[in-house]
Amino acid sequence: MSAVVTLIAAASAVLDEQAVQAARASLTALGADTAKPDWLAPDRACDIAEEGLVPEQAEAAVRRALGGLAVDVIAQKPGNRKKRLLVADMESTIIEQEMLDELGDYVGLKDHIAAITARAMNGEIDFKGAVRERVALLKGLNESVVDEVWQRATLMPGAKTLVSTMRTNGATCVLVSGGFRCFTERVRQWVGFDDDRGNVLEVVDGVMTGAVVEPILDKDSKLEALLAYAGERHVPTVETMSVGDGANDLPMLLAAGLGVAFHAKPTVAAQARARVDHGDLTALLFAQGYRIGEFVEG
């Protein structure tokens, strides 16, 4: 039994020696042998290798020891840390917005649509039904609105660095979204993903019909995408990584070698095996053992 426990401070916080020593002490108190901390970035991220505990035990002990500090804790087996395939959700993960909510602003229903989105992302209502319900409210919108809404999109901090660093090191990076291709294609080009998948808004004569082209990409589709890309590229599942925030991401998070719930909805964070609550997307690089000097800026 062994694990590597990675501590990652939020951008606004500092990971100090006191916190690291508290983490080590929590592991040794349970009978683990710990190695000297390996700093991946000064004052920001470090690895603690331990023998004697499984990852789940190690993570729980360290989380208790650190209490309310703005430090993420990811524990995993020491092998196969650098992943060869990344499958990422788009909205509230790679970009900061939910673009369907933003489209809703143009029909005066942003708050209403956003409330449906929140319930769907927390797993409270059926995802496909929620997509159809929200898109129906957009009936009659001119297709040109997509270009206006796109101007609102902002990248999640660390997104380009995550993708650029992984691709530089030979990984394939794919964007798979329950959102729409009119946005996933643009985010793919902006960030540098190898490929993208998403749903398609039905448009006739330049006007949205209020329908989605079937079939709708949902949680099962995201899992299928992870397995398909891994199979096509002969990547063992243990060498895959997925990241997302919503209930429709959970199957792919649980199937990947390292599935990370990123600033996720409560039900998702509770079920995922790894989560980032405080840091930006570069936390996924530290979790793979990358040192800050190896980061490639996008």
Task: Give me the long-range contacts of 187-191 (CB less than 8 A, separation at least 24).
Answer: 187/90, 187/94, 187/95, 187/153, 190/155, 191/94, 191/155, 191/159, 191/160, 191/163, 191/298
Q: Which band of pLDDT confidence, cut at 50, 70 and 90, is reported for residue 122?
A: confident
Contact between 114 and 101 (Cβ < 8 Å): yes
CB atoms within 10 A of CB 137: 18
pLDDT at 68 over 90: no
Q: Which band of pLDDT confidence, cut at 50, 70 and 90, is reported for residue 16?
A: very high
Contact between 15 and 43 (Cβ < 8 Å): yes
Read off φ and ψ for residue 246, nearest 5 degrees: -110, 170
pLDDT at 82 over 90: yes
Give the pLDDT of residue 288. 98
Stretch (H or E) spanning 295:
none
Pinpoint the residues of the chain covered by CATH 3.40.50.1000.
82-97+155-297
Distance CA 200, CA 215 (A): 9
User: Mapping DSSP to helix (H, G, I), strand (E, B) and coil, where does residue 177 land?
Assistant: strand
Query: Residue length, the chain?
Result: 298
pLDDT at 80 over 90: yes
Give the pLDDT of residue 72. 98
Distance from chain centroid for Cα 104? 24
Distance CA 28, CA 243 (A): 31
Q: Which band of pLDDT confidence, cut at 50, 70 and 90, is reported for residue 204?
A: very high
Distance CA 55, CA 207 (A): 52
pLDDT at 1 over 90: no
Task: Indicate yes or no: pTM above 0.85.
Answer: yes
Top CATH class of 1-79 equals: alpha beta
pLDDT-above-70 percentage for the chain = 100
**Burial environment of residue 170 by CB neighbours within 10 A (0 to 12, 13 to 18, 19 or more):** exposed
- Superfamily of domain 82-97+155-297 in CATH is HAD superfamily/HAD-like (3.40.50.1000)
User: Mapping DSSP to helix (H, G, I), strand (E, B) and coil, where does residue 141 land?
Assistant: coil
Give the pLDDT of residue 186. 98
Q: Which band of pLDDT confidence, cut at 50, 70 and 90, is reported for residue 88?
A: very high
Give the pLDDT of residue 208. 97
Average pLDDT over residues 31-57: 97
Average pLDDT over residues 173-187: 97
Give the pLDDT of residue 30. 96
Q: Which band of pLDDT confidence, cut at 50, 70 and 90, is reported for residue 205?
A: very high
Average pLDDT over residues 258-278: 96
For the segment 221-234, what is each residue's pLDDT rounded down to a tens digit? 999 999 999 999 99
Q: Which band of pLDDT confidence, cut at 50, 70 and 90, is reported for residue 220?
A: very high
Pinpoint the residues of the chain covered by CATH 3.30.70.260.
1-79
For the segment 19-31, what is each residue's pLDDT rounded down to a tens digit? 999 999 999 999 9
pLDDT at 90 over 90: yes
For the segment 153-165, what is each residue's pLDDT rounded down to a tens digit? 999 999 999 999 9
Q: Which band of pLDDT confidence, cut at 50, 70 and 90, is reported for residue 298?
A: confident
Average pLDDT over residues 201-211: 97
Give the pLDDT of residue 77. 96
